[in-house]
Amino acid sequence: MKDRSQAENLLETWIKNDALQYHCRMVAAAMDAYARELGKSEDEIEKWWQAGLLHDLDWEAYPDEHPNKAVDEILPEHQVDEEVIQAVKAHAPDRTNTEPTSELDRYLFACDEISGFMNAVALMRPNGFDDMKPKSVKKKLKDKQFAANVPRDDIYKGAELIETSLDDHIMFLVDIFKRM
Ligand SMILES: [Fe+2]
Ligand SMILES: [Fe+2]
């Protein structure tokens, strides 16, 4: 992948649902921001951004195979970097038998479900992400009826994988998402 527009085209080809596209862009923005925060090179930043943008690429067309169809076929066919493919594989350990190990894997895992959850919280609030506090997100996490399809365990596991507190993780992400 030479530039961002190529990855954007891939996203728009495979995902027509606006909410799912937005989810992918949120995770991409989170990954870009974390890569910068960690002082990665421009090359690395691109990989982290791409992993976020493309992690759910086959979800709409192949929900049962996700993410294996992307990992085995679509991403290699588009010369996506091996490290990015590995991270996409490891964001769904239950479906791929691959746990997140590299730093890129771990950050992708940590940014995925929490982004979806925080977006659900933002949609309920008059000001969206503005003035969103970790406390209100954590309160919603304990409410099992709210966004019931989001696996809470993966959110806690994600924060552990990147060795941060859930509060700090949420505050970092609020800052990114409110500028989207
Ligand atoms: Fe996924
Ligand atoms: Fe996702």
Where do the domains of the chain lie? 4-177
Backbone angles phi, psi at 37, to 5 degrees: -55, -35
Ligand 1 centroid to residue 55 C-alpha, Å: 6
Average pLDDT per 10 consecutive residues for the chain, totaling 180 residues: 91 98 98 98 98 98 98 98 98 98 98 98 97 97 97 98 98 97
First to last CA, the chain: 24
Max CA distance (Å), the chain: 43
Ligand 1 centroid to residue 38 C-alpha, Å: 24
Buried-exposed string 132-166: b where 16+ CB fall within 10 A, e elsewhere: bebeebeebbeeeeebeebeeebbebbbebbebeb
Which residue is it, tokens 């409110």?
178
Structure tokens at 128: 């969206």
Residue 177 is which amino acid? Answer: F
How many CA atoms lie less than 13 Å away from 132 in the CB half-sphere?
A: 31
Ligand 2 centroid to residue 60 C-alpha, Å: 11
Ligand 1 centroid to residue 179 C-alpha, Å: 24
Structure tokens at 56: 């759910």
Ligand 2 centroid to residue 23 C-alpha, Å: 7
pTM value surpassing 0.85: yes
Count of helix runs (H) and strand runs (E) in the chain: 11, 0
**Residue 3: predicted pLDDT:** 86
